Structure 1
Amino acid sequence: MNFELDKSIEILRNTPLVLKTMLDGLSEEWIKNNEGENTWSPYDILGHLIVGEQTDWIVRVKIILSDSENKFFEPFDRFAQFNQDQTKPISDLIIEFKSLREKSLKELTSLHITQKDFDRIGIHPEFGKVTLKQLISTWAVHDLGHIAQISRVMAKQYTEEVGPWYNYLGILKK
């Protein structure tokens, strides 16, 4: 499939609903458990997505589209969620993420991005030159990756409990 802004927006718009459906109302064990040392729980992943909405995606889109000669992106703190309040209920995080995402998508559509804009450049601190098309594509794939990660983390909570079916459950082997 080739990049289309509307197709990316479909994923970005649905992510909050997917996360609400997956996580809202679950016990702490499902929400706060991870895969072991230096791994993230579904709670941590949702916190990471919130920080991204606040400091990364739209900020970088605007840098690329700006008339400024400074196209450098600030480094993104992939672990900033651990500096946030860790006692908020998951339902509050879901609501916060949904609100932030709605705001981001409203801003994105208000920019009236044209086909020519997709080739405009920003400067990533690690990768160097990146295009707007690459940034927006990454935003959608980033969401999908974290949805898959949440599923994997949750599935692995029952690794031992599935017994002999383990060999048929590829999600447990990744």
Structure 2
Amino acid sequence: MQFDLNRSIEILSRTPFVIEALLNGISEEWLMTNEGENTWSPFDIVGHLIHGERTDWITRMAIILSEADNKSFTPFDRFAQFEESKGKNITQLLDEFKTVRKQNIEILKSKKINAKDLTKKGIHPAFGEVTLEELLATWTTHDLGHIAQIARVMAKQYTNEVGPWKQYLPILEK
């Protein structure tokens, strides 16, 4: 599929509601369990998505679209959610995610991005030059990846309990 901003917005605008439908009102065991050492729980993933909304996608888009000479991105802290989510519950995180995502979609739409804008570049700290199109496609794919990650983390809680059906459940193998 070729990149299309409107198709990306279809996904980006739905992600908070998909995650809310999956996580709101379920037990702590589902929310707080991860896949083992150095892995994230669904709670952690929502915190990570919020941090990205506040510091990554729109901030980097603004850098790319700016007239500034320096188009370098600040490195993204992939673990900031552990501190930022302290003292919050999942309902608070889900509400915060919906709010910041709605604001960011409004900002994104307000830019009236055209084909020329999509070719503009910023400087990623690890990858070097990246285009606005690549950034926006990554934002969309990042959402889908974390939705899949949440489902995988939750599914793995029943790895042993499914018994012989495990062989038919590839989600348990990754």
TM-score, normalised by the number of residues in structure 2: 0.99
- Residue in 2 that maps onto 1:126: 126
Structure 1: 5+ residue stretches without partners: none
Q: For 1:67, what is the secondary structure of its paired residue?
A: coil
Contact 2:13–2:101 (CA under 8 A) maintained in structure 1: yes
- Residue in 2 that maps onto 1:111: 111
Deviations 1:115-164 (A, max 9, x none): 11000000000000000000000000000000000000000000010011
Q: What is the letter of the counterpart of residue 64 of structure 2?
A: I
What is the alpha-carbon root mean square deviation over aligned residues? 0.6
Q: What is the letter of the counterpart of residue 111 of structure 2?
A: L
Q: Which runs of 4+ in 1 moved over 4 A?
A: none
Q: For 1:149, what is the secondary structure of its paired residue?
A: helix
Q: What is the letter of the counterpart of residue 109 of structure 1?
A: K
Alpha-carbon separation, structure 1, partners of 2:91 and 2:125: 34
Q: For 2:129, what is the secondary structure of its paired residue?
A: strand
Within a 5 Å distance, the mapping from 1:82-101 to structure 2 comes to 82-101=82-101
- Residue in 2 that maps onto 1:68: 68
Within a 5 Å distance, the mapping from 1:16-165 to structure 2 comes to 16-165=16-165
Structure 2: 5+ residue stretches without partners: none
Alpha-carbon separation, structure 1, partners of 2:86 and 2:161: 29
Deviations 1:66-113 (A, max 9, x none): 011110000000000011243311011000000000000000111111
Count of aligned residue pairs for this structure pair: 174
TM-score, normalised by the number of residues in structure 1: 0.99
Q: What is the letter of the counterpart of residue 170 of structure 1?
A: P
Q: What is the letter of the counterpart of residue 9 of structure 1?
A: I
State the percentage of identical aligned residues: 60
